[in-house]
Amino acid sequence: MNSESMAVAEPMSLEQVLKTIPELQDQATLDGMSDLLIKVAPLIQGRRLHNIVDLLAATSDVIEMADEAMVEKLMALYENGVGGVWALSNALRYASAQAARDETPPTIWQSLRRLNKDEDARRGLSMAINLAAELGRQSRAANGPMPED
């Protein structure tokens, strides 16, 4: 190999780049570039443009990974989430309307007697207790000692 092929090309100045690219000879293009640079300058100076580039790269990775099975799983997750929120919202609205119909709220003993007689209320209380137990189990597991590798 000769020394000419080993030589590193000298970087071009901005003025040389502007002269060699035909698209940059158009004044409208230069005006647009100037406006864009004015808007992007704070992002570049604050090194926040890096975050935007990283976000675009991550979005591109997700798009490449998104096969039909993944999209179907995400759709099912979305439908289950929306359905759960809708059911919870309806239950809260119904319970609130029932409570608002009472002129005076029942005493604790009246509520407990009703709870004892109402199978659905007992089932709901059982579900709430099971949920609290599961949250407690997960909390204990999350804050416990880390297992050895």
How does pLDDT run across 132-149, given as a tens digit for each residue?
A: 999 989 888 888 776 675
Quick one: 56 and 90 in the same domain?
no
Q: How sure is the predictor about 17, in pLDDT bands with cuts at 50, 70 and 90?
A: confident
pTM above 0.85, yes or no: no
State the total domains in the chain. 3
Would you say residue 4 lies in a domain?
no
Would you say residue 78 lies in a domain?
yes
How does pLDDT run across 52-94, given as a tens digit for each residue?
A: 999 999 999 988 888 888 889 999 999 999 999 999 999 999 9
With both helix axes pointing from N to C terminus, report the angle between 119-143 and 108-117 in degrees, rounded to the nearest 10. 100
The predicted structure's pLDDT at residue 16: 83
Which residues have CB under 8 Å from 106's CB, separation 6+? 114
Quick one: 96 and 111 in the same domain?
no
Would you say residue 8 lies in a domain?
no
Domain that holds residue 92: 68-103
Quick one: 37 and 54 in the same domain?
yes
Quick one: 76 and 60 in the same domain?
no
